């Protein structure tokens, strides 16, 4: 099994917190799609064949961004057709598209469904208009509620939404109200992230200039705990540190990332992972298009060392409910690294982890301290 990621970097507006590669322009959108299809059909052949992913069955396809729903249905169809023509796609493949609420009309969503998308991830972020304005979002609470209703009406059973917590403007009571709202909706999956201050974002600039107060870690922690409690109360399994889902509605695509399943990424700044080798495309739309058209190099490659592979295995495993399988760790990396892991584990307070069969899993008490725990369990790179 393998996955495909399609990066659509175009946006109407840059959000205050966003550090993903995106641009506020759509002037090259058709040329960009053609370049992606050329990358997919011609320029990735050697990587696919030599590393066997070309013969693997694709079980997940994910359109992320940026804002994929800025693409017309005809452009999305071109990409879908190129994937079908160049890869063996499982008949039951999970096919996800990220969407902004203001683009989720009944007509557009119906056409997405007809193209084969069976999962939609709607970037809500908040149900509070003041907070949405603060974040730089271009939709309202009304748009958000209508988008979810329209997705349900057009036959999307697998609906995911994104929320952000730890926002300075919001009280714990306000956050509780937003959680009450989301758990009353026909949503099967919830991704929730703490607002973080990343360099090269407007949020970072405003905090540095003291135009905004910095994020309060204690407030974020309280909101995270409330989120975990409410999700559990409503039957949502906390299957990864930032992700919650009803039974059978885990994100298969993101789970592939955490399980280190091979995937190919197409488009500017997209990443790929095959045979312990990572590659990433140039993070510039115009340079990406030019490189593709001129058949010039457009991505860099990194071969992971054994220590880097071990660290990634531990880091990703600890993020999920399945934890780190110690038996699998020993089989894959040897007894020495298994013993290193178990010895390092003794330095961690036992209330923050538990043993489940052969796995070490982070407890509810330990999740807010995941970064600290992980740092103590990984090795210094070679």
| Closest by Cα among 3, 8, 50, 6 to 28 | 8
Residues of the chain with CATH 3.20.20.70: 2-258
| Closest by Cα among 243, 244, 239, 313 to 273 | 313
Instruction: Please report the beta strands in 30-72, taking only residues with DSSP state E, as ranges in sequence order.
Output: 57-65
Pick the CATH number of 306-377 from 2.30.30, 3.15.10, 1.10.10, 3.30.110: 1.10.10
Report pLDDT for 319.
96
Q: Are 116 and 83 in contact (CB under 8 A)?
A: no
Q: Are strands 158-165 and 119-125 parallel, antiparallel or unpaired?
A: parallel
| Closest by Cα among 117, 178, 125 to 151 | 117
Q: How many CB atoms lie within 10 A of CB 172?
A: 13
Q: Tens digit of pLDDT for each residue in 107-154?
A: 999 999 999 999 999 999 999 999 999 888 999 999 999 999 999 999
Q: Tens digit of pLDDT for each residue in 312-344?
A: 999 999 999 999 999 999 999 999 999 999 999
pLDDT tens for the 382 residues of the chain, in order: 799 999 999 998 877 777 777 888 888 999 999 999 999 988 665 555 444 455 568 999 999 999 999 999 999 999 999 999 989 999 999 999 999 999 999 999 999 999 999 999 999 999 999 999 988 899 999 999 999 999 999 999 999 999 999 988 889 999 999 999 999 999 999 999 998 767 777 666 777 776 677 767 888 899 999 999 999 999 999 999 999 999 999 999 999 999 999 999 999 999 999 989 999 999 999 999 999 999 998 999 999 999 999 999 999 999 999 999 999 999 999 999 999 999 999 999 999 999 999 999 999 999 999 999 999 999 976 5
Report pLDDT for 196.
77
Query: Does domain 2-258 match CATH 3.20.20.70?
Result: yes
Element (H, E) at 124: strand 119-125
Distance CA 290, CA 35 (A): 9
Report pLDDT for 50.
43
Report pLDDT for 228.
97
Question: In the chain, what is the straight-line distance between the N-terminal and C-terminal CA atoms, in Å?
Answer: 31
CA dihedral 361, 271, 82, 154 (to 10 degrees): 50
User: What does pTM read for this prediction?
Assistant: 0.94
Query: In terms of C-beta density within 10 A (0-12 exposed, 13-18 middle, 19 or more buried), how is residue 223 classed?
Result: buried
SS3 5: strand
Residues of the chain with CATH 1.10.10: 306-377
Report pLDDT for 202.
66
Percentage of residues in the chain having pLDDT higher than 70: 92
Distance CA 149, CA 106 (A): 9
Q: Are 228 and 364 in contact (CB under 8 A)?
A: yes
Distance CA 91, CA 324 (A): 31
Distance CA 179, CA 290 (A): 45
Q: Are 118 and 95 in contact (CB under 8 A)?
A: yes
Please give the DSSP secondary-structure letter assigned to residue 41. I
Query: In terms of C-beta density within 10 A (0-12 exposed, 13-18 middle, 19 or more buried), how is residue 349 classed?
Result: exposed
For residue 334, what are its two tokens? Answer: 């040897």
Edge-to-edge order in the sheet of strand 359-362? 324-325, 359-362, 353-356
């Amino acid at each position: 099994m393998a996955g495909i990621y399609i990066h659509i970097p175009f946006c109407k507006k840059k959000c205050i917190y966003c550090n993903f590669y995106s641009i506020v322009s759509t002037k090259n959108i058709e040329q960009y799609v053609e370049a992606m299809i050329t990358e997919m059909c011609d320029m990735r052949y050697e990587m696919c064949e030599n590393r066997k992913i070309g013969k693997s069955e694709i079980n997940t396809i994910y359109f992320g961004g940026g804002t994929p729903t800025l693409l017309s249905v005809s452009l999305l169809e071109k990409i879908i057709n190129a994937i079908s023509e160049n890869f063996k796609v499982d008949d039951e493949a999970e096919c996800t598209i990220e969407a902004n609420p203001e683009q989720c009309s009944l007509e557009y969503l119906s056409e997405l469904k007809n193209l084969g998308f069976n999962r939609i991830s709607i970037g809500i972020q908040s149900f509070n208009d003041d907070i949405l304005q603060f974040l730089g979002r271009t939709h309202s609470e009304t748009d958000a509620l209508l988008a979810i209703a329209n997705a349900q009406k057009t036959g999307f059973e697998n609906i995911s939404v994104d929320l952000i917590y730890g926002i300075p403007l919001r009280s714990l009571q306000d956050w509780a109200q937003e959680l009450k709202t989301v758990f009353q909706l026909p949503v099967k999956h919830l991704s929730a992230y703490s607002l973080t201050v990343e360099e090269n974002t407007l949020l970072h600039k405003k905090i540095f200039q003291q135009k905004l107060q910095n994020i309060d870690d204690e407030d974020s922690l309280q909101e995270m705990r409330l989120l975990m409690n409410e999700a559990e109360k409503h039957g949502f399994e906390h299957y990864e540190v930032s992700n919650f889902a009803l039974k059978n509605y885990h994100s298969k695509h993101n789970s592939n990332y955490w399980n280190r399943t091979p995937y190919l990424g197409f488009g500017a700044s997209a990443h790929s992972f095959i045979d312990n080798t990572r590659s990433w495309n140039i993070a510039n739309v115009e340079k990406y298009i030019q490189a593709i058209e001129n058949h010039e190099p457009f991505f860099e490659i990194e071969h992971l060392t054994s220590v880097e592979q071990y660290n990634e295995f531990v880091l990703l495993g600890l993020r999920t409910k399945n934890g780190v399988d110690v038996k699998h760790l020993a089989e894959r990396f040897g007894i020495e690294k298994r013993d290193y892991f178990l010895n390092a584990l003794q330095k961690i307070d036992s209330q923050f982890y538990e043993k489940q069969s052969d796995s070490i899993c982070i407890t509810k008490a330990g999740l807010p301290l995941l970064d600290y725990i992980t740092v103590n369990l990984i090795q210094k790179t070679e």
